[in-house]
Amino acid sequence: MAALEAAKAGATPMMEQYIEIKSANPDSLLFYRMGDFYELFFDDAEKASRALGIVLTKRGKHQGDDIPMCGVPVHAADDYLQKLIGLGFRVAVCEQVEDPAEARKRGSKSVVKRDVVRLVTPGTITEDKLLAPSESSFLMALGRVKGNADQCLAMAWIEISTGIFRVAETTADRLAADIFRIDPREVVLPDTMFYDDELKPAFDLIGRIANPQPAALFDSASAPGRIARFYGVATPDSFGAFSRAELAAISGAIAYVEKTQKAERPPLAHPEREQSGSTLFIDPATRTNLELLRTLSGSREGSLFRAVDRTVTGGGARLLADRMMSPLTDPEAIARRLDSVSWFQRETRTADALRQCLKGVADMPRALSRLALNRGGPRDLGALRAGFDAARAAAELFEAAELPKELDAALAAIKALPAVFADHLYNALADELPLLKRDGGFLREGYDAELDEMRALRDQSRRVIAAMERDLIEETGIRSLKIRHNNVLGYYIEVTANHQAIMNGSDEAKSRFIHRQTMASAMRFTTTELAGIETKIANAADRALAIELKAFEALSLEAVEHVETIRAGADALAVLDVSSALAVVAINEAWSRPQVDAGLAFDIEGGRHPVVEQALRREAGAPFVANDCDLSPGEGSRTGAIWLLTGPNMGGKSTFLRQNALIAILAQMGSFVPAKRAHIGVVDRLFSRVGASDDLARGRSTFMVEMVETAAILNQATERSLVILDEIGRGTATFDGLSIAWAAVEYLHEKNRCRAVFATHFHELTALAGKLERLHNVTMRVKEWEGDVVFLHEVGKGAADRSYGVQVARLAGLPDAVVQRAKAVLHQLEEGETSGKANRLVDDLPLFSAAVRREEPKPVANDALAKSLSTLVPDEMTPREALEALYRLKELAANR
């Protein structure tokens, strides 16, 4: 930036203006408007050309060097913005803020004034093209207040495109988990907080979405004033009681919105406080392992969300994702959601009719936000109209129906939508709407009389003139009278010379028909009326557009006046969409309603993995093997059980682990579950450590990551928690790993006292079942058939006798020599373990290379079986002869 400041000396007026604006926005790419293009210069041009794959050119020279330049068309800017935002860039949009004619008044070389009208960042986008309909786009702000010995933390998250504004307190140890739960696109925070060593691990996890800002934006002392000014109220006390840290977070969010949106103000809802402990705590590693919204590869295909999503509206999909990421911990609130799903499950005809209504609903909240920010178009008004129509149709479906509480509240919000405004939109808007308001043609014929007249003049000027001509002929009786047009006189009335007396006969005629030109055989006149029509025709298109733009502004203002009721109605439609969609899943997938209460039960009968089951049916047409899981407290116990799960790889252990965690999430988000029956005592914290990963960027091996995640579980799990652990201790030496796993099981049993499933290949741990009263051994059942292992994918009582690792290796395609060698080594190891001679393994067994040579196939030229096979001619054999030959071959094979 210092180089840019130095470059101002000797720059052209235009480049001097660019450098000055760029200096004020150093952390953003500057889209500098020049005519029909946004141009980028210097370093911005080089970055953008690489990111967008566009040609890097040059524009003259500056201080002897070429000025790098690239540009994008204004009409296609959204597509380029989408790519830049996706790559983590922030963009400052610089527009002309005065008419070029005004600039020329200051001199021929004066530069048109420009200024940044908006900062486009990942958390503040509103354009339809830049937003995924089914995904929220949250901006999160963090605030803190330091005390004597500790610090209070809070987070506020908003979605500019829909107006959502929520706030909650958090702590340093759960900050990362809360950020991952909200899944924001951008996190703004005080720069002093960003460099705090205690919070650094959380910011390392979220990576580039963290955006440090000046600490003054998050000042808790000035926060009430900033909040009051934004909402236009005397004090924010009416919004609720917030802590100082929460006020700091709210202030930071509002300040960043004001910074990025400049003069515009999005219609944000009043901040809504989320009660601590009201949602299920799921740590970042668990969210990643369970693939709730995205798979490990970042795709939505294969995630729990994709398996469950049957919504038909963008708002419904976002609400479903929000519920999935923040399951509830209040049994009564969960029951209200389940009641809604149950109602639609029974009333299938109403559910089907409702979903047909909702399919026509556009995204009302996002359309409303664009209208409020002056970025909307006619189709945004059309989205509101479509939403009102669907709401009316939906309300009619529920007339006289006895509804559960959640649906009843949704119906009340739908009925409260502004009917007068809805009628106004219907009367005002045409059936087919253009994308841009500048194109015009979006007002319905008959809505505005002057507009209809202007359109008639614009589109039917010949017909208007012809009608006037007929009226004059009838009035004057001159059949040869013509109304003509040329570039000199414009429109004029022409009569032959012998009709001159009629036009100039009376004083009234003289005052009306104004002489314009005398020709050899004709006279030309005009009238005040004709001159007026001529002016109207010339200005009709501009006037028609001006009328439409004025009406658009009035309709937009009217929409903003009803922002709260419209937003509430849209939220109600989303609730109906989610409840009916979950009912569809329950019916189609044979899911059952879970019993969720305040106890400690965890009893799943016939549980299934929702994602794997659908994939098996779709790809192989195979059924999913259901399994039970009962971690409920036993008789006389007040804490849940721990299952120690053994069995081979490929036997289904990881699937079983994950499916029980997913069933808990589905139940507490208010969904039916993939099980024959489910009774779940509310889980307060869910921990899942399944799979292996490393973090080489921070110097962490796979085993180190495993230990860090295990430590977080053991330090945070409570007796109400559900813990899913897989293969703890497998990343180090055998006895080290066994010792760690052994101690972890004991700690879960004695200290955490939680419900847990602990999968392991350390069969020695099964001995703990005789020592720990709440620990039970279960295993994945397998069968051996003619030397092969058959995975039954069934969970049964007991412990596995071995891991079947060599058989799995053979199934994976390892060379036969490797498999045979492994079997030999395994046999010697097992024999040595019982005889105490394991340390002689290296001496007793030949080198691997020797084993390979020894196991090479022998020549079969003199083999009786081979000779017998070579004499057979199948095409010449009768069925009986073929059967006899088969018996002979079998006998030879047995004696070989």
Query: pLDDT by residue (tens digit) across 485-510?
Result: 887 888 999 998 888 777 766 777 77
Is 142 a member of any domain?
A: yes
For residue 168, what is the domain's CATH number?
A: 3.30.420.110
Instruction: Note whether 633 and 646 are same-domain residues.
Output: yes
Q: Looking at residues 112-121, what average pLDDT do you find?
A: 91
pLDDT of residue 787: 63
Q: How far apart are the first and last CA of the chain?
A: 85
Per-residue pLDDT tens digits for 236-289: 888 888 999 999 999 999 999 999 998 888 999 999 999 888 999 998 889 988
Instruction: Note whether 797 and 880 are same-domain residues.
Output: no
Residue type, 749: H
Rounded distance, CA 381 to CA 696, Å? 51
| Cβ neighbours around 575 below 10 Å, total | 22
pLDDT of residue 861: 46
Asked which of 51-55, 100-104, 225-229, 299-303 is least confident by mean pLDDT, the reply is 100-104
pLDDT of residue 786: 64
- Checking if the pLDDT of 27 tops 90, the result is no
pLDDT of residue 11: 66
Is 138 a member of any domain?
A: yes
Rounded distance, CA 490 to CA 481, Å? 17
pLDDT of residue 745: 92
| Cβ neighbours around 426 below 10 Å, total | 12
Rounded distance, CA 851 to CA 817, Å? 8
Rounded distance, CA 294 to CA 305, Å? 8
Is 746 a member of any domain?
A: yes
Please, are residues 367 and 131 in contact by the beta-carbon 8 Å criterion? no
pLDDT of residue 98: 82
Q: What is the pTM of this model?
A: 0.82
Instruction: Note whether 581 and 709 are same-domain residues.
Output: no
Closest-CA residue to 25 (of 373, 260, 374): 260
Kind plus residue range of the DSSP H or E element containing 65: strand 65-73
Rounded distance, CA 728 to CA 760, Å? 7
Instruction: Note whether 835 and 743 are same-domain residues.
Output: no
Instruction: Cite the annotated binding site by residue number.
Output: 647-654
What is each CA distance from 109 to 72, 105, 323, 565, in whole angstroms? 25, 10, 59, 52
Check the CA dihedral 681-685-689-693 and report its sign: positive
Q: Looking at residues 728-757, what average pLDDT do you find?
A: 87
- Checking if the pLDDT of 63 tops 80, the result is no
- What is the tally of structural domains in the chain? 7
pLDDT of residue 717: 92
Dihedral (C-alpha) 583, 584, 590, 593: value to the nearest 10 degrees?
A: -10
DSSP 8-state code for residue 872:
-
Which residue's entry shows tokens 């739908």? 414
- Checking if the pLDDT of 400 tops 70, the result is yes
Residue type, 151: Q
Please, are residues 177 and 143 in contact by the beta-carbon 8 Å criterion? no
Instruction: Note whether 471 and 570 are same-domain residues.
Output: no
User: Cβ contacts of residue 404 below 8 Å, gap of 6+?
Assistant: 336, 339, 340, 342, 343
Per-residue pLDDT tens digits for 746-794: 999 999 999 999 998 888 899 999 899 999 999 988 887 766 777 788 9
Per-residue pLDDT tens digits for 578-635: 999 999 999 999 999 999 999 999 999 999 999 999 999 988 788 899 999 999 998 7
- Checking if the pLDDT of 843 tops 90, the result is no
The pairing of beta strand 91-96 with beta strand 29-34 = parallel
For residue 365, what is the domain's CATH number?
A: 1.10.1420.10
pLDDT of residue 852: 47
pLDDT of residue 754: 94
Instruction: Note whether 156 and 170 are same-domain residues.
Output: yes
Instruction: Note whether 735 and 690 are same-domain residues.
Output: yes
Is 820 a member of any domain?
A: yes
Instruction: Note whether 744 and 664 are same-domain residues.
Output: yes
Asked which of 119-123, 335-339, 530-534 is least confident by mean pLDDT, the reply is 530-534
Q: Looking at residues 440-452, what average pLDDT do you find?
A: 92
Which residue's entry shows tokens 């390392």? 204
Q: Looking at residues 124-149, what average pLDDT do you find?
A: 86
Is 425 a member of any domain?
A: no
| Angle formed at CA 383 by CA 381 and CA 389, multiple of 5 degrees | 105
Is 294 a member of any domain?
A: no
**Helix boundaries (H) for 774-863:** 805-811, 816-835, 841-844, 848-854
Across the beta sheet with 151-159, the strand order is: 210-213, 186-190, 139-146, 151-159, 164-170, 272-273
In the listed set 573, 588, 603, which residue is the last one of a domain according to the structure?
Answer: 588
Instruction: Cite the annotated binding site for ATP by residue number.
Output: 647-654
Instruction: Note whether 9 and 78 are same-domain residues.
Output: yes
Is 723 a member of any domain?
A: yes
In DSSP notation, 342-389 reads: HHHHH-HHHHHHHHHHHTT---HHHHHHHHHTT---HHHHHHHHHHHH
Instruction: Note whether 766 and 644 are same-domain residues.
Output: yes
DSSP 8-state code for residue 269:
P
Instruction: Note whether 768 and 663 are same-domain residues.
Output: yes
Residue type, 490: G
The pairing of beta strand 57-62 with beta strand 91-96 = unpaired
Instruction: Note whether 641 and 713 are same-domain residues.
Output: yes
Please, are residues 730 and 761 in contact by the beta-carbon 8 Å criterion? yes
Asked which of 49-58, 60-69, 414-423 is least confident by mean pLDDT, the reply is 60-69
Structure tokens at 224: 């009430």
Please, are residues 509 and 501 in contact by the beta-carbon 8 Å criterion? no
Domain that holds residue 581: 309-418+562-588
Rounded distance, CA 15 to CA 9, Å? 10
Rounded distance, CA 22 to CA 664, Å? 51
Rg over alpha carbons for the chain, rounded to the nearest Å, is 38
pLDDT of residue 838: 46
pLDDT of residue 785: 73
In the listed set 477, 510, 541, which residue is the last one of a domain according to the structure?
Answer: 541
Is 424 a member of any domain?
A: no
Rounded distance, CA 609 to CA 302, Å? 12
Average pLDDT of the chain is 87
Please, are residues 516 and 440 in contact by the beta-carbon 8 Å criterion? no
pLDDT of residue 5: 53
Per-residue burial over 594-606, b if 16 or more Cβ lie within 10 Å, else e, is bbbeebbbbbbeb
